[in-house]
A and B are shown apart, each in its own frame.
Chain A
């Protein structure tokens, strides 16, 4: 296969900058595509060429398959890196590119399709022997049947509305005595919310952790894993902190889970970078959740501990090269990543838009910042308000935590509100240091995590003091003093 000459990055912001960095290192030309609000962005300036898609929101720009394909043909790009989000798991886009002889840096459309459907992928991987959350999805809605099935699954169980979403029609049932009342109440709620009272049962995982495996496949049928990431600190199912290796994690469990991850990837003849996600129970039982068929936001923690460049691997695999090694590489030290967002934690984490008057990060050799904005950039209402990913490395987990807290506290963002302080409190929490957090931790501790250290009146006093102080020494102060 001919080596790739020119990559078009069908994405924006931090991930576009990150892909451009690797392409440059490999001597490959890059093309950025951009919408109107992004015309002055860092990623547009970083690429060798830039192509305007027009439009403002994602739908009329980055998500418009026709426009992006046209950009490839116009600029003569022979490959597309989709980043994550946007068109990264869009099979129509991947097929369109294929038709025009443009390479899609990602898995084959059939793998994306197979893993895209939650129930379908669950059945598929279960067939290849990967554990899935035990449950009952049968047609019968008789209480006696539910009772029998619940005994088989084991208590506590979760009754879920078949048509459900957003936590509606969900009941936790702890014992056979609670079963009938729980099912009936879930049914009532499901009927009023969705007009459909069908219920399914699932094993309830107490205080679960979210652990995922980075996997990689090539065109020769080789698939290996590149260790796990623990993403248990979540807020409303959005990851907040990601780390590797997973804390408090026996090595035999890791072996079992990594084998399951590779099996899941083999079930769809996977090529390129992917992630197999598991939910991990308190007593070490684990179940397949889903597979992401793309590079992920948290891939840098894997890179920090293995010394690999996963984007380079993606590009090489796409060029038809075999994996450089068929053994899982060894991992050194501990890495942690947080996502710094322009959002207001005190206002329900609503996005906080506006101009970034000042942005600065500390510089350390153990710190990596992946960002798509600089001082003067604008956070707009059109896209995800992520400012940067901060990734630190330490010889061990405690060192990594200490360094992360320090780097967060030295990061300055003036303009929009951010989650910086919230993140500092979160990673400083004793439970986190002990590795004892589940996916419920943030929700359970929100009040403490959102509190301030400096009192309002002191903040005002300092604001007033420094508002005046420069005027007194400024060249224009003659009249006022």
Chain B
């Protein structure tokens, strides 16, 4: 799987395949073998909580995923990786956030948190100027968060729904 992370010196690509990780920053490329780093991933069923991993040298790494961001804590250091918007490219929509295209009223929510959608499926219906407008999934996705409720008035560009893009497998 190929990821594009934001770094201070521009985007960096991370390609994870089996036990190998290739990191490319600018023109430089680095290769890591996971077996040299990780001993075991301590399993947890709750994807929203803190996860911990035992590393080969006995140290514990902890991480937490929050939408398109991951936070890591290892050996007293904390850092975060933020996926750049290019991850979400497709169908003209580039952001994980679905924003209100106009001021209006949410008349129907046709999805729920955790539901998966194919590109083009209706997520919610927004009424404006007595017309109903369907807000559709811009790419294959899973609904992470619904910010508005039925009957609520919204302004233009207010965030309605936050999606997690489902990556097509590249292999």
**Which residues of A come within 8 Å of B, CB atoms?**
357-358, 360, 408-410, 412-415, 418, 420-421, 424, 452-454, 456-471, 473-474, 476, 479-481
Residues of chain A contacted by B50 (CB below 8 angstroms): 358, 360, 412
Find out whether the CB atom of A467 lies under 8 angstroms from the CB atom of B81: yes
Q: Tell me if B77 is interfacial: C-beta within 8 Å of chain A.
A: yes
Query: What CA separation (Å) do A452 and B83 show in the bound complex?
Result: 22
Given A414-B80, A420-B78, A466-B72, residue A460 in contact with residue B7 (CB < 8 A): yes
Closest to A355 in B: B66
Residues of chain B contacted by A480 (CB below 8 angstroms): 166-169
Query: What CA separation (Å) do A412 and B79 show in the bound complex?
Result: 11
Find out whether the CB atom of A462 lies under 8 angstroms from the CB atom of B47: no
Within 8 A of A (CB), among B79-95: 79-81, 83
CB distance from A239 to the nearest CB of B (A): 22
Looking at chain B's contact residues, the main secondary structure is: strand
* Segment of B30-38, B100-108, B125-133 in the binding face: B30-38
Residues of chain A contacted by B70 (CB below 8 angstroms): 463, 466-467
Residues of chain B contacted by A452 (CB below 8 angstroms): 77
Find out whether the CB atom of A479 lies under 8 angstroms from the CB atom of B71: no
* Count of chain B residues with a beta carbon within 8 Å of a chain A beta carbon: 50
Within 8 A of A (CB), among B2-24: 3, 5, 7, 12, 14-16, 21, 23
Q: Tell me if B111 is interfacial: C-beta within 8 Å of chain A.
A: no
Find out whether the CB atom of B166 lies under 8 angstroms from the CB atom of A458: no
Looking at chain A's contact residues, the main secondary structure is: helix
Considering residues A360, A420, A453, A459, which has the most beta carbons from chain B within 10 angstroms of its beta carbon?
A459
Find out whether the CB atom of A464 lies under 8 angstroms from the CB atom of B16: yes
Given A465-B16, A470-B65, residue A409 in contact with residue B75 (CB < 8 A): yes
Considering residues A465, A474, A481, which has the most beta carbons from chain B within 10 angstroms of its beta carbon?
A465
Considering residues A420, A460, A479, A480, which has the most beta carbons from chain B within 10 angstroms of its beta carbon?
A460
Find out whether the CB atom of A479 lies under 8 angstroms from the CB atom of B3: no
Find out whether the CB atom of B21 lies under 8 angstroms from the CB atom of A461: yes
New A-B contacts (19) at CB < 8 Å, excluding given A421-B77, A481-B169? A412-B50, A414-B66, A414-B78, A414-B80, A456-B25, A460-B23, A461-B14, A463-B5, A464-B3, A464-B5, A464-B16, A465-B21, A466-B51, A467-B70, A467-B81, A468-B16, A469-B41, A470-B65, A480-B167
In the assembled complex, 22 residue pairs joining A and B whose CB atoms fall closer than 8 Å, in A order, are: A360-B50, A410-B76, A414-B71, A421-B77, A421-B78, A452-B77, A453-B75, A453-B77, A457-B28, A460-B14, A461-B30, A462-B74, A464-B14, A466-B63, A467-B83, A468-B16, A470-B47, A470-B51, A470-B65, A476-B116, A480-B166, A480-B169
Query: What CA separation (Å) do A458 and B23 show in the bound complex?
Result: 8
Find out whether the CB atom of B3 lies under 8 angstroms from the CB atom of A468: yes
| B52-77 near A? 1/0 per residue, CB < 8 Å | 01000000011111100011111111
Closest to B114 in A: A476
Residues of chain A contacted by B7 (CB below 8 angstroms): 456, 460
Find out whether the CB atom of B65 lies under 8 angstroms from the CB atom of A413: no
Q: How many A-B pairs fall under 8 Å by CB? A: 120
Query: What CA separation (Å) do A219 and B43 show in the bound complex?
Result: 61
Residues of chain B contacted by A464 (CB below 8 angstroms): 3, 5, 14-16, 21, 23, 81
Query: What CA separation (Å) do A461 and B17 show in the bound complex?
Result: 11
Q: Tell me if B1 is interfacial: C-beta within 8 Å of chain A.
A: yes
CB distance from B12 to the nearest CB of A (A): 5
CB distance from A387 to the nearest CB of B (A): 12
Closest to A415 in B: B71
Query: What CA separation (Å) do A454 and B1 show in the bound complex?
Result: 23
Closest to B115 in A: A476
Closest to A467 in B: B70
Residues of chain A contacted by B146 (CB below 8 angstroms): none
CB distance from B80 to the nearest CB of A (A): 7
Find out whether the CB atom of B77 lies under 8 angstroms from the CB atom of A454: yes
Find out whether the CB atom of B72 lies under 8 angstroms from the CB atom of A457: no
Contact among B25, B65, B71 for A460, CB-based, below 8 A: B25
CB distance from A246 to the nearest CB of B (A): 27
Residues of chain B contacted by A456 (CB below 8 angstroms): 7, 25
Q: Closest 4 A-B residue pairs measured CB to CB?
A: A463-B81, A464-B14, A409-B76, A414-B71
CB distance from B129 to the nearest CB of A (A): 34
CB distance from B18 to the nearest CB of A (A): 11
Given A460-B5, A461-B21, A479-B166, residue A467 in contact with residue B74 (CB < 8 A): no
